[in-house]
């Protein structure tokens, strides 16, 4: 049975620029996407910053109206039946907003239980159950202002589950969380799926998506570029080799030289302190070490290694193939 149905969903924004000659600029944030999420499924929505992930989630949980298209959550239309949708869903977002820091975790949950209309006779047992689920039992009487970021995120999840939602939206819940806390969050999310909760997760952490998600959709430039299980997405780059190169001071011109080499299928750079980590995807069996080093002539090179492709490599390949690692672009400009 389907928990979420999305058909040709679009969202555009209109803004005005200029003063003497103002223009109306129409930006398409989401461009006719479609997908289904089954009951009890943990579904990942991945994409670069501004790709349309959060806009999509906000339309699905009724915080934004679609410009066109349809979306249904548990059979209810998000535009025409927002109250019915809100009764059945929970929404947890990354960051520190949404909690009262000078209250204890227990008082926060009591307050939100009232807002969510949880029956008074059920509140005590429900709060205790959730505190145990997210690993905060024994710390619930401490003020939230003394909590670590990981503890706050776990409290966010408890808050979002107070009214026993059938569908839970997790929008980058582990952002800024240390590795130990992130591991605890992943365990909590996995427990939710095991209990039958449908979860739609957005994240920038590919290992997290690979570990948790039953299926993944990759969105870039406001459209769905790929959809499948983590293994199906990884199969797109199984015929590639991966070179990892530590460099210092590589500029965009050097990256373009690498991308122009025959046999190179993709190049990504990540800042790591004073160094950069270059990930170069090449055709399987192509020995391009010499050509790659020649393209980096004049740039200090550290360690060089090779490895098997991962979900992150598949994600990079999908986004680069889309021709847009950035998000929505102006679709139309109209004179005032």
**Quick one: CA torsion of 201, 202, 207, 211, rounded to 10 degrees?**
10
Q: How many residues does the chain have?
A: 336
For residues 129 and 253, membership in a common domain is answered with no
Same domain as 288, residue 203: no
Provide the β-strand partners of residue 247.
276, 301
pLDDT at residue 146 in the model: 93
Residue at 280 is within a domain: yes
Q: Name the DSSP letter for residue 235.
A: G
Residue written as tokens 């047992």?
125
Number of domains the chain contains: 2
105 dihedral zone (left: phi>0; alpha: psi -120 to 50; beta): alpha
Is 60 exceeded by the pLDDT of residue 333?
A: no
The confidence score (pLDDT) of residue 96 equals 63
Same domain, 246 and 230: no
The answer to whether residues 217 and 300 belong to one domain is no
Range of the domain at 266: 239-308
**pLDDT over 90, % of the chain:** 62
Whether 314 is covered by a domain: the verdict is no
Mean pLDDT for the chain overall: 89
**219, 124: one domain:** yes
Distance between CA 330 and CA 336 in Å, rounded?
16
- Both 99 and 45 in one domain: the answer is yes
Q: What's the pLDDT band for 335 if we cut at 50, 70, 90? A: very low
The 10s digit of each residue's pLDDT in 4-31 is: 999 999 999 888 877 778 888 888 999 9
pLDDT for residue 95: 65
- Choosing from 218, 234, 250, the residue where a domain stops is 234
Contact between residue 285 and residue 297 where contact means Cβ atoms under 8 Å apart? no
Please report the pLDDT score of residue 270 as a whole number: 87
- Kindly state whether residues 150 and 196 are assigned to the same domain: yes
Position 326 pLDDT exceeds 60:
no
Task: Kindly report, residue by residue over 86-137, the tens digit of the pLDDT.
Answer: 999 999 877 667 889 999 999 999 999 999 889 999 999 999 999 998 889 9
Tell me if 214 is assigned to some domain.
Answer: yes
Where a domain ends, among 188, 215, 234? 234
Q: Does residue 320 lie within any of the structural domains?
A: no
Average pLDDT over residues 285-304: 91
User: Does some domain include residue 328?
Assistant: no
Extract the tokens encoding 222. 């406001």
Residue 329 has pLDDT above 60, yes or no: no
Residues 250, 225 share a domain: no
Digit-coded pLDDT (tens) for 174-203: 877 778 878 888 888 888 888 889 999 998
Does residue 324 lie within any of the structural domains?
no
Asked whether residue 191 falls in the same domain as residue 72, the answer is yes
Position 317 in a domain: no
| 298/321: higher pLDDT | 298
Query: Is the domain of 132 the same as that of 272?
Result: no
Check whether 39 has a pLDDT greater than 50.
yes
What is the CATH classification number for the domain harbouring 243? 3.30.70.100
Tell whether 26 is covered by a domain.
Answer: yes
What's the pLDDT at 50?
86
Looking up residue 110, the CATH number of its domain turns out to be: 3.40.50.300
**Average pLDDT of span 224-233:** 96
Residue 191 and residue 101 share a domain: yes
Give me the pLDDT at residue 330, please. Answer: 37
Which residues contact residue 78 at a Cβ distance below 8 angstroms, ignoring those fewer than 6 apart?
Answer: 59, 60, 61, 62, 66, 71, 72, 85
On whether the pTM is more than 0.85, the answer is no
Q: Are residues 66 and 213 in the same domain?
A: yes
């Amino acid at each position: 049975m389907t928990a979420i149905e999305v058909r040709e969903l679009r969202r555009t924004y209109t803004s005005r620029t200029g003063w003497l000659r103002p223009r109306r600029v129409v930006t398409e944030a989401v461009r006719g996407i479609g997908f289904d999420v089954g009951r009890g499924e943990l579904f990942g929505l991945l994409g670069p910053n501004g790709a349309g992930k959060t806009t999509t989630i906000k339309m699905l949980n009724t915080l934004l109206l679609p410009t066109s298209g349809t979306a249904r959550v548990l059979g209810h239309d998000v535009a025409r039946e927002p109250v019915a949708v809100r009764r059945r869903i929970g929404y947890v977002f990354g960051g520190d907003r949404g909690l009262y820091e000078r209250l204890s975790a227990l008082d926060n949950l009591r307050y939100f239980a009232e807002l969510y209309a949880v029956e008074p006779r059920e509140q005590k047992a429900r709060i205790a159950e959730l505190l145990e689920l997210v690993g905060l039992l024994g710390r619930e009487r401490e003020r939230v202002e003394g909590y670590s970021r990981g503890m706050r995120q776990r409290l966010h999840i408890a808050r979002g589950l107070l009214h026993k939602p059938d569908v839970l939206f997790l929008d980058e819940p582990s952002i800024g969380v240390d590795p130990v806390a992130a591991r605890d969050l992943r365990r909590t999310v996995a427990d939710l799926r095991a209990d039958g909760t449908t979860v739609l997760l957005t994240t920038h952490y590919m290992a997290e998506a690979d570990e948790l998600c039953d299926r993944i959709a990759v969105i870039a430039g406001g459209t769905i570029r790929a959809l499948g299980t983590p293994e199906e997405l990884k199969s797109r780059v199984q015929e590639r080799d991966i070179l990892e190169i530590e460099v210092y001071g590589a500029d965009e011109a050097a990256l373009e030289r690498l991308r122009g080499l025959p046999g190179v299928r993709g190049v990504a750079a990540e800042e790591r302190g004073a160094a950069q980590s270059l990930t170069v995807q090449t055709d399987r069996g192509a020995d391009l070490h010499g050509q790659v080093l020649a393209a980096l002539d004049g740039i200090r090179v550290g360690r060089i290694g090779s490895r098997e492709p991962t979900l992150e490599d598949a994600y990079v390949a999908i986004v680069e193939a889309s021709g847009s690692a950035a998000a929505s672009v102006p679709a139309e400009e109209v004179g005032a």
